Chains A and B, each alone.
Chain A
Amino acid sequence: GDSVTQMEGPVTLSEEAFLTINCTYTATGYPSLFWYVQYPGEGLQLLLKATKADDKGSNKGFEATYRKETTSFHLEKGSVQVSDSAVYFCALSGSETSGSRLTFGEGTQLTVNP
C-alpha cells in the first residue's frame, strides 16, 4: 500500500536558519502531495500542495517540489521564524489505490529558538 516517510525529528533551529524536512513516498500512479502543519492546540492546516511531477508548491515562504524520479517532496524554508514552531506532516492522496484518503508521514516537530 501507499506510504510516506519523513525524516526523524524533532528538529531544533535558531531563528533565520535554513530548514529542510525530508519526505519520500511510495505509491502507485500519480498521487498529489501535501504538507500539513499543526500548531499547538489546533487541527491540521494545509501548508502547500503539488498535484503533478515537477510542480512546486509554496506558501508563507515554504516550498516543496514534487520529484517523481526520486519520489520525494522535501519541505524547505530559507529563514525560519519562531512562529514556524509546529509539527509538519507530509501526506499524499489520489494514488491508484488510495482514492481521496490522505496517507500521512510520521510528522516532524520543529522548534525555532529566538
Chain B
Amino acid sequence: EPEVTQTPSHQVTQMGQEVILRCVPISNHLYFYWYRQILGQKVEFLVSFYNNEISEKSEIFDDQFSVERPDGSNFTLKIRSTKLEDSAMYFCATRGGRGGNFDEQFFGPGTRLTVL
C-alpha cells in the first residue's frame, strides 16, 4: 500500500539554526500539506501546496517558513531560524485531488523537531 514517508524521524537543532524537513508524497498525489503538533496541543494546519505554489497558509506560517518541491518528488518544509517554540511534531500529508476538497489526506509518520 502506498504511503507517505518523512525524514528524519527526529531532528535536534540549536536555536537560530535552519532545518529542512522532508516528505516523499504518494506518487500520483497532487496536493501537499504540512501540519504540526506541539506536545499536548492540537494538530495545527501550516500550509497547503498545489501546482508548485502555496494555496493556503495559516497565521503560524510566517516568513521563517518556506515550502518547495525541489525535484518533483520530495516536498520540503524549511524553517530558516528556529525558535524554541518551533519544537513540535511535524506531519506531512498528501491527497490525490480527484474528489474535490473532501478526499482523504494521507499522513506521514511525522518528524519530531527539538530546538535547544
> A: which residues have CB within 8 A of B?
32, 36, 41-46, 49, 51, 89, 91, 93-94, 99-107
> B: which residues have CB within 8 A of A?
4, 31, 33, 35, 41-45, 48, 55-56, 58, 91, 93, 95, 100-102, 104-110
Report Cα–Cα, A88/B45, bound state, in Å.
17
Contact B107 A100 (CB under 8 A): no
Report Cα–Cα, A81/B44, bound state, in Å.
29
By beta carbon, the residue of chain B nearest A46 is: B104
How far is the CB of B60 from the nearest CB of chain A, in Å? 12
Contact A45 B42 (CB under 8 A): no
- Given the known A-B contacts A43-B91, A94-B102, are A100 and B43 also in contact in the complex, defined by CB atoms under 8 Å? no
Report Cα–Cα, A91/B100, bound state, in Å.
17
Contact B105 A102 (CB under 8 A): yes
Contact A100 B42 (CB under 8 A): no
Contact B43 A104 (CB under 8 A): yes
Contact B35 A99 (CB under 8 A): no
**B58 contact set on A, CB distance < 8 A:** 101
Of B48, B102, B107, the residue contacting A43 (CB under 8 A) is B107
**A89 contact set on B, CB distance < 8 A:** 43
Report Cα–Cα, A103/B4, bound state, in Å.
20
**B101 contact set on A, CB distance < 8 A:** 32, 93-94, 99-100
